[in-house]
Amino acid sequence: MDQSCEKVLVRGNEAIAMGAIDAGCRLFFGYPITPQNEIPEYLSKHLPPLGGEFIQAESEIASINLLLGASATGSRAMTSSSSPGISLMQEGISYMAGSELPAVIINISRSGPGLGGISASQGDYFQATRGGGHGDYRVLVLAPSTVQEMYELTYLAFDLAEKYRNPVMILGDALLGQMKEPLIRKKPPPMDLPPKDWALTGAKGRKPNRIKSLYLQEGELTEHNWKLYKKYERMKQEEIRFEVIETEDAHLIIVAFGSMARVARSVVEMARREGVKVGLFRPITLFPYPEKPLREISRRVKHFLTVELNTGQMLEDVRLSVERDAEVYFYGKPPGALPTPEEILEQLKKYYGRSGSA
């Protein structure tokens, strides 16, 4: 594979596929859906020459269960889809969480509910961060904001999935998947990972392993759920990722993730040029949510504007994170026209006046 550090201009979707290949993913299962088709397109071409396997399954339900089977063998495997397809996969994701299987699931989300449309949306935030399927479980959710991050976070997702034996989801959207930016295809440093002694690799010479999510013995399931809970708590301790821009002297802070954080970054620049002191807080992990760092900032800054491509989902996590005397405002847009920096700046100025600093 080309590992030179030359810049290439690629779509976010292609960057994800490259990140998966560089992370050692050799098995992909998926079913076509816009706007993520460049991921399977790229992998269908590049996996077979590497000795990997690309399977276009008969449905998303088949894809996720193929993924479950592949990951039970300890192989690095992935599926990708977009919102309606991810809904179909929820049962399988719940089974993988229950069976403690590492797997990477890409959601290049589109708009809903239902078949909705193919435009960008952040309407899947709740589904991604609250579990999505049945049972008391979580998946790690990473929200890239640049093409470079689409590559790096996909790579990271494979490591984190094995570190925790848990599904990891990349939550992007149509804008990030379709946009092209320069990419430096450089592998991140390797992570120390536990041995995969749980994998189903043939039990010759050792005790058989069992992968299951069914626990019927008394007390067994209670214990299993506490074990999972501890894992999620450990994620909260060790995996929080976020970015802050110009927050030191800010009177108001925009909170936005993914594609909207891109627009928000421009808003911060424009506002600063006018002497309006605002900053940006960008969660990179949506679960675990960067509650603590956001709370710390809210001891100093009392005004927050959450900007989302939906009618208010991450807003709840921002409200739960900040100190009680902090005000949290919201500007959101349902699917359709994407908000421009000018539009958000106008909203921001309304609230900035209230921060007593205008």
Partner 1 sequence: MPSNHFYYDLIIAGFGGQGVLAIGNLIAYAAMKEGRHVTYLPTYGVEMRGGTANCTVVISSKEIGSPIIYRPHALISMNLPSLLKYGPRVLPKGLIFLNSSLIDLREVNRQDVEVFPVPVNDLAIENGNPRFANMIALGAFIEKTKLVELFTIYESLEKVFDERHHRHIPENIRAIQIGVEYTKRFTPFREEK
Query: Angle of helix 314-321 relative to helix 291-298, nearest 10 degrees?
Result: 60
Give the residue with the Cβ less far from partner 1, 251 or 265. Answer: 265
Residues 6+ apart with CB under 8 A from 135: 94, 97, 98
Distance CA 118, CA 127 (A): 18
207 binds partner 1 (CB under 8 A): no
Give the residue with the Cβ less far from partner 1, 37 or 73. Answer: 37
- Identified binder of partner 1 from the candidate list 233, 238, 248, 342, rule CB under 8 A: 342
Residues 6+ apart with CB under 8 A from 232: 138, 288
4 binds partner 1 (CB under 8 A): no
Give the residue with the Cβ less far from partner 1, 188 or 341. Answer: 341
Contact 283, 320 (CB under 8 A): no
44 binds partner 1 (CB under 8 A): no
341 binds partner 1 (CB under 8 A): yes
Which x/- pattern, by CB under 8 A, does the window 294-333 give for partner 1? ----------------------------------------
Q: Measuring CA to CA, how many Å separate 294 from each of 123, 211, 300?
A: 22, 38, 10
Contact 332, 307 (CB under 8 A): yes
Q: How far is the CB of 273 from partner 1 (least distance, A)?
A: 7
- Identified binder of partner 1 from the candidate list 15, 143, 267, 294, rule CB under 8 A: 267
> How do 140-142 and 285-287 pair as beta strands?
antiparallel
Residue located via tokens 């067994």: 220
Q: How far is the CB of 181 from partner 1 (least distance, A)?
A: 5
Which x/- pattern, by CB under 8 A, does the window 162-181 give for partner 1? ------------xx--xxxx
- Name the residues that contact partner 1, by CB under 8 A: 7-9, 34-35, 118, 174-175, 178-182, 262-269, 273, 338-343
